[in-house]
Structure 1
Amino acid sequence: MSAALTVVGLGSGDADQLTVGIIKKMKQAATLYVRTLDHPVLNDLKQEGLEMTSFDAIYEAKASFPEVYDEIANRLIEAARQGESGTEIVYAVPGHPMVAEASVRLLKERCPQMGISLRVMGGESFLDEAFIRLGFDPIEGFQLLDASSLSTELVQPQLHTLIGQVYDVFTASDVKLCLMEVYPDDYPVFVGHALGVKDQEVIHKVPLHDLDRIEGYGNLSLIFVPKNTDDALRRRSFARLHEIVNILRSPGGCPWDQEQTHQSIRKNLIEETYEVIETIDEDDPDHMKEELGDLLLQILLHSQMEEEVGTFNVYDVIEGLHDKLIFRHPHVFGEHQAENANEALQNWEQMKAEEKKRKGLDQQDISVLDGIPRDLPALMKGYKLQKKAAKVGFDWDDVEGVFAKIEEELAELKEAVQNNQSAEEQKLELGDLLFATANVARFIDTDPEEALAATNRKFTGRFRYIEERLRELGRTPADSNVEEMEQFWQEAKKAGL
């Protein structure tokens, strides 16, 4: 048998707020442990003769808070195991044991496994004093966040927000930077030190940008951000974006948006995709940001149309993508290994094949060429078709074989043109030549679509140079001749265009 273990809360810092039961429990304990002596109540209890053992030394010995709490839990469990049956060990923590107390959470997980009786006695938490001293009702909407694990995704402006565990100015600085992703720099926030503790309580109201210029941060500090329902604060929220698209499509929304169907805006999706690609090619981050937003709007619109008929919504889309990314990256989220990009791609393809099996697809009906979108640009599609075929051995041994094929297809195209064959036959021969040319890309590790796009840009730049030079002479390309334009073309080439 072992000693029983009881956890009690020391309250927010004022000894007058302690319950009679908790004081009695601490006085009767065989051994009284406290997480830290840095709590106002303990000074009063020491004056009454209570002897206690603190875990403050562990904070100095360990490199992180999780290690500290793990060590505290282990020591308490060992003390209970070594204790005499029928005795009681008391562990006192600041505030309420069930509010922001990681060591207590660990005890609740481990004590049942070790056969140790665990009891938790409440008491006032810092939340009680925060509601009173900061003057807000949690029923209006409230969230409690931990400064050590704060992220932008957790912050919801429409809720009153208390942020605890703000131990020092460095933590306050991290909190400030996180909040500034959501709130204006001058948004009013409150810093509370030792709320409810006589002669120690301090409350500051400061603009957000001054949050880390306040002195006095410590174990009894918190930050309060009042709720605000202004939609402007939700501009970076995906939920708000989804809400806006829903409004546009709803009765009373935008007549144009209401009339659209998948087919009517199909071309918009394609156009917006190419506009994003253009910003990538131009290395224009500001324009890219705008065009990515336009592309995202198309995804939201198509998802909204399906939400209206009850098939899926954009959050189902996100869920599917989430699961796919986790599943197809076993070298990141699982036990597989990938030392380089090629091994990572192999894992991706293996898991992709596994997905098809799990979906019950008949392997006999699956083609090596499956998975290539029907409406891809022809050059890109030709490249992907040959790439897939090459994976199962349908390929030349080296690039020389491809060059020979190009020469063969070029000769056949010349013959078709010289013999004045039908337009359809000439078109097919041209297609064969382009298809063979695209295959060179695999051997020189270049995307043919990107290669042709680069040439298009080069041609555009040089031809515009020709137009500009002719304009300086008061002429246009229509007033010039090939020889003159070729001269300017060579100038543009020497200029690096």
Structure 2
Amino acid sequence: MSTGITVVGLGSGDPDQLTLGIWKVLQGAGRIYVRTQEHPVMNRIAAEGIAFDSFDSVYEDNESFGDVYETIARRLVELAADEPIVYAVPGHPMVAEKTVLLLREYAEQSGVALKVLGGESFLDQAFVRLGFDPIEGFQLLDSSGVTAELIRPSLHTLIGQVYDSLTASEVKLGLMEVYPDDHPVVVGHALGVEGEEQILRVPLYELDRLEGYGNLSLVYVPRSDDEALRAGSFARLHEIVGILRSPGGCPWDIEQTHASIRKNLIEETYEVLETIDDDDPDHMREELGDLLLQILLHSRMEEEVGTFTVYDVIRGLNEKLIFRHPHVFGDTAAGSTEEALKNWDAMKAEEKKLRGENAPEASLLDGVPRDLPALMKAYKIQKKAAKAGFDWDNIEDVFAKIEEELGELRQGLAEGADADALKLELGDLLFSAVNASRFLDADPEEALSLVNDKFRRRFRYIERKLRERGSSPQGSTLAEMDALWNEAKTTE
């Protein structure tokens, strides 16, 4: 058992803010190590004749802050094996001090006794000097982790460890994902340190143009109830849908059920597909929003009866994505699309096993949605059957099957078969054509959509040319229209 480590906080910067208890520890310590000598209190300690060693050289010997903190923590554990030591850090040891978190872990593993004493953190001075009460809602972010997912405008936000202009630039870019470029922010340097404190209020775009960033710098963004800032959050969307469905909300929204808006979900999906086909990002953004609204409405209906919420939907999706991508989030490899799909299918099968769905009567064709368009459904059914080995050997066999089905359709028509029988023969022909699409690695739904668009373009060409002649399709012969059809082909 070693003699132990005592960790003390040097406060936010001003020597007068150093606690009496910690001052006594420093005066009576046999060996003192400090993370950095770049702290205002260190001048007072040196002036009092208190000896110490700093780890500033470790910063020069390592390429990243992570390596610096690891090195310091492990070295402290080694040093404590010979004698009791005091480790002093800026601010409070448990506020934005990675070395202490690592030290707690390594000390326990090595059987080193560890004692942590507090100290004034930069938060204390921030509350006083910037003049806000954290009980109104407050979050503390590290400068390296300022992302749209973490930023909440309704909370007072402090961003610590803004060491230099480069770090300030990263903070600025992160904040600009949520706030407008000219949103007012506050930069604080050496808060509470007499003669060194600076508090600057600037528009966001100027954040990295300021000078004076260092170890005692932070950025503060006051809380705001501006609706424009909340408009980009998923929480606000969930809130709006809840208001629409609540008493006093929109009468139409309140009356809707899963069944009544089922068709809306289908329509909005097709409208999204249309924007994809048109390569129209502006309309795609709008239509994706309309589709998302349908998901929120259906989820809200279930939330009202207590079955699940939209956040349960999101949680389930997150878990599924991680589980089905072991080659990304686990230790399974996938060097190609085929291997990735194989992993996906394997994990889907594992999910079914975990849910107890591997009943003897289960079919390999299970999982194909009942209400898919028939062409798409045929494609998915065939792919599932092919994975089980029930498939043609090559595309020539498929072509032979298409010719066979075409012959049966002709025969049925010649023999006067009834409408239902002819419909089945036509279905067989279409089903065989879908088989050909698989062998050509061409999605049949996409292929038919392309042909639909091509037909529409050519027919509109016919209509336009006929209007120029003072005519119309209804007033023209098939030969005239066919000639224009061939003409339209040459213009593509």
Query: TM-score normalized by structure 1?
Result: 0.97
Shift of 1:8: 0.8
Q: Does 1:15 align with 2:11?
A: no
Equivalent in 390, 393, 397 of residue 397 of structure 1: 393
CA contact (8 A) 2:147 2:177 kept: no
Q: Does 1:2 align with 2:38?
A: no
Gaps of 5+ in 1: none
Equivalent in 158, 163, 170 of residue 162 of structure 1: 158
1:364 and 1:174 mapped to 2: Cα distance? 56
2:374 is aligned with what amino acid? A
Shift of 1:329: 0.9
Give 1:66's aligned residue.
66
RMSD between superposed Cα atoms in Å: 1.1
Q: Match of 2:173, SS?
A: helix
Shift of 1:211: 1.1
Q: How does 1:204-353 map to 2 (within 5 A)?
A: 204-353=200-349
Shift of 1:491: 2.3
Gaps of 5+ in 2: none
Give 1:188's aligned residue.
184
Identity of aligned residues (%): 67
2:310 and 2:47 mapped to 1: Cα distance? 62
CA contact (8 A) 2:158 2:218 kept: yes
Shift of 1:472: 2.1
Q: Does 1:30 align with 2:30?
A: yes
Give 1:104's aligned residue.
100
2:137 is aligned with what amino acid? G
Q: Does 1:149 align with 2:145?
A: yes
Give 1:121's aligned residue.
117
Give 2:446's aligned residue.
450
Shift of 1:103: 0.2
Give 1:47's aligned residue.
47
Equivalent in 363, 368, 371 of residue 372 of structure 1: 368
Shift of 1:232: 2.0
Shift of 1:481: 2.0
1:58 and 1:460 mapped to 2: Cα distance? 70
Deviation readout 1:125-178 (Å, 9 max, x if unpaired): 111110110000111111111011221111111111100011111111111111
Deviation readout 1:81-108 (Å, 9 max, x if unpaired): 1x23xxx211111111110000000111
Q: Match of 2:202, SS?
A: strand
Equivalent in 196, 199, 213 of residue 195 of structure 2: 199
Shift of 1:3: 2.5
Shift of 1:487: 2.2
Deviation readout 1:260-295 (Å, 9 max, x if unpaired): 000000011111111111111111111111111111
2:214 and 2:482 mapped to 1: Cα distance? 75
Shift of 1:474: 2.4
2:282 and 2:109 mapped to 1: Cα distance? 56
Q: How does 1:430-449 map to 2 (within 5 A)?
A: 430-449=426-445
Once the two structures are overlaid, the 10-residue window that deviates more, 476-485 or 7-16, is: 476-485
1:486 and 1:180 mapped to 2: Cα distance? 58
2:356 and 2:234 mapped to 1: Cα distance? 34
Q: Match of 1:143, SS?
A: strand
1:187 is aligned with what amino acid? H
Deviation readout 1:66-122 (Å, 9 max, x if unpaired): 1110000011000001x23xxx21111111111000000011112122111111111
Q: Match of 1:263, SS?
A: coil
Deviation readout 1:429-476 (Å, 9 max, x if unpaired): 111100010110111111100000011111111111121222222222
Q: Does 1:383 align with 2:393?
A: no
2:174 and 2:326 mapped to 1: Cα distance? 31
Query: TM-score normalized by structure 2?
Result: 0.98
Q: Match of 2:115, SS?
A: strand
Equivalent in 51, 66, 89 of residue 93 of structure 1: 89
